[in-house]
């Protein structure tokens, strides 16, 4: 769909260069293409956010009834797709309020009415989803424990994610981060230098796109990290797409070939790095997946015991030949195949001659054996993301257990 939109709309409006830069930006940079297949909501969020932004450009250009209907429709689709899109949409509507206040050529009262009507219509249409949103946020608060506190490292990570993959430390990929920041600064400089060549609505659409990326990420990072806990770079993929569309439109208007060449070389270098990163990540995850597939195949036997910890819904279809336990009860599960028992020691004692495996979400495990309370050790067999498969063993002496490790299997 994005390819079709790029060819039929972006190419028609801004030319081949804009079409090519946009598609290259949203496919080659960082691990965006991986994010597209992580979950359908991410690819849909990019599609609807781009359509909303293009409708926004049409509103800036003519403010027709058709443009407002499309903007409102795509806004509704955006927030139904992922709640994080509330933040870029907020920045977009706020930008329009700024536009109508600085533009003497528009009927301010009429435009304010249209904007307010669009916002009200969006809110009304979203009301049926409110309870689902509350349920999702509650689930995130219960299960997402990996979010780091906001810091300089994290902010730099977020600000460079339009070209680079997620990083944990400030100095990770330091040279590439510097190049990413240089590209962002260069884009802003080009915009300031070339603003006189643009029509008013074109200049403001590029200004809005850059602001959507920068301020929506900062705003969402603050609110989501401190209120909902769950935050990850993949949430920003729709904002990244808007920035790349803005960059594409901007570069299509540049007349200074030297500046254009510098920008394109930077984009090409970062894109090649992104492709290389994506290929490496895919190969790595394929290796992990193959390893876990083999482990599951070996485990899925009637005389084996499997214990789930926040992993039942993910794995029980693959391990239906085993005897299953769960450390937690699952609300809404119909006819569960597991036996609920929250004490690992009891499960081990009830199955003294069986192979016992724990499938759990961990945040601080290493390749070495992990120690558990009550004389139980866990040896890692495989992992996929934060999901680990461990083989449990009961030891005789108490000194091999440690109370502090309880956090490892109860996260």
* 291 domain residue, yes or no: no
Residues 238 and 139 in one domain: yes
Residues 134 and 73 in one domain: yes
Residues 395 and 359 in one domain: yes
* 293 domain residue, yes or no: no
Residues 268-322 have pLDDT tens digits of 998 888 888 878 877 888 888 898 899 999 999 989 999 988 778 788 888 889 9
* 292 domain residue, yes or no: no
Confidence (pLDDT) at 87:
92
Residues 266 and 320 in one domain: no
- Between 88 and 130, residue with greater pLDDT: 88
Tokens of 76: 């509704």
Residues 278 and 171 in one domain: yes
Residues 280 and 221 in one domain: yes
Contact (CB, 8 A) for 327 and 308? yes
pLDDT at 262 over 90: yes
Confidence (pLDDT) at 227:
65
Orientation angle between helical segments 16-28 and 237-252, nearest 10 degrees: 150
Confidence (pLDDT) at 132:
80
Nearby residues of 328 by Cβ (< 8 Å), 6 or more positions away: 308, 309, 310, 340, 342
Task: Tell me the Ramachandran region of residue 375: left when phi exceeds 0, alpha when psi lies from -120 to 50, beta otherwise.
Answer: left
Confidence (pLDDT) at 226:
67
CA distance 40 to 289: 20
pLDDT at 27 over 50: yes
Contact (CB, 8 A) for 245 and 209? yes
* 85 domain residue, yes or no: yes
pLDDT at 387 over 50: yes
Domain boundary among 263, 286, 309: 286
- Domains of the chain: total: 2
Residues 214 and 329 in one domain: no
Domain boundary among 235, 253, 286: 286
Residues 264 and 346 in one domain: no
Residues 264 and 308 in one domain: no
* 139 domain residue, yes or no: yes
Residues 8 and 146 in one domain: yes
| pLDDT-above-90 percentage for the chain | 32
Tokens of 39: 């979950």
Residues 307 and 361 in one domain: yes
Task: Find the farthest-apart pair of alpha carbons in the chain and give their distance in angstroms, rounded.
Answer: 83
Confidence (pLDDT) at 164:
76
Residues 123 and 244 in one domain: yes
CA distance 215 to 237: 14
* 154 domain residue, yes or no: yes
* 70 domain residue, yes or no: yes
Residues 104-153 have pLDDT tens digits of 888 889 999 999 999 999 999 999 988 887 776 666 655 555 555 666 67
Domain boundary among 261, 286, 311: 286
Tell me the residue range of the domain where 388 lies.
300-410
* 338 domain residue, yes or no: yes
Mean of the per-residue pLDDT values for the chain?
82
């Amino acid at each position: 769909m994005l390819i079709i939109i790029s060819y039929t709309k972006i190419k028609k409006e801004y030319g081949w260069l804009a079409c090519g830069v946009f598609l290259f930006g949203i496919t080659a940079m960082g691990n965006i293409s991986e994010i597209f297949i992580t979950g359908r909501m991410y690819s849909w969020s990019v599609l609807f956010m781009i359509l909303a932004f293009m409708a926004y450009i049409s509103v800036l250009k003519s403010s027709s009834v058709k443009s407002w209907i499309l903007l409102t429709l795509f806004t509704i689709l955006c927030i139904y797709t992922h709640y994080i899109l509330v933040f870029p949409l907020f920045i977009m509507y706020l930008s329009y309020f700024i536009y109508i206040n600085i533009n003497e050529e528009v009927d301010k009262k009429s435009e304010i009415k249209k904007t307010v009507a669009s916002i009200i219509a969006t809110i009304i249409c979203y009301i049926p989803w409110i309870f689902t949103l509350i349920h999702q946020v509650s689930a995130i608060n219960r299960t997402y424990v990996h979010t780091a506190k906001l810091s300089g490292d994290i902010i730099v990570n977020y600000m460079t994610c339009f070209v680079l993959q997620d990083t944990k430390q400030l100095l990770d990929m330091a040279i590439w981060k510097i190049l990413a920041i240089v590209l962002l600064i260069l884009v802003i400089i080009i915009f300031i230098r070339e603003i006189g060549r643009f029509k008013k609505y074109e200049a403001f659409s590029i200004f809005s796109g850059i602001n959507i990326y920068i301020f929506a990420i900062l705003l969402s990072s603050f609110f989501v990290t401190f209120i909902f806990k769950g935050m990850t770079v993949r949430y920003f993929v729709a904002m990244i797409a808007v920035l790349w569309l803005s960059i594409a439109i901007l570069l299509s208007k540049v007349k200074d070939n030297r500046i254009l060449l510098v920008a394109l070389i930077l984009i090409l270098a970062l894109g090649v790095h992104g492709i290389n990163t994506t290929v490496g990540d895919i190969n790595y995850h394929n290796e992990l997946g193959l390893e876990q597939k083999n482990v599951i195949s070996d485990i899925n036997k009637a005389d084996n015991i499997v214990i789930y910890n926040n992993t039942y819904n993910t794995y029980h279809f693959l391990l239906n030949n085993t005897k299953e336990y769960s450390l937690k009860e699952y609300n809404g599960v119909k006819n569960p195949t597991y036996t609920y028992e929250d004490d690992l020691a009891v499960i081990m004692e009830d199955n003294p001659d069986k192979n016992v495996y724990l499938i759990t979400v961990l945040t601080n495990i290493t390749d070495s054996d992990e120690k558990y309370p009550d004389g139980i050790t866990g040896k890692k067999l495989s992992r996929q993301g934060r999901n680990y498969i461990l083989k449990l063993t009961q030891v005789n002496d108490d000194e091999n257990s440690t109370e502090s490790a309880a956090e490892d299997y109860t996260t």
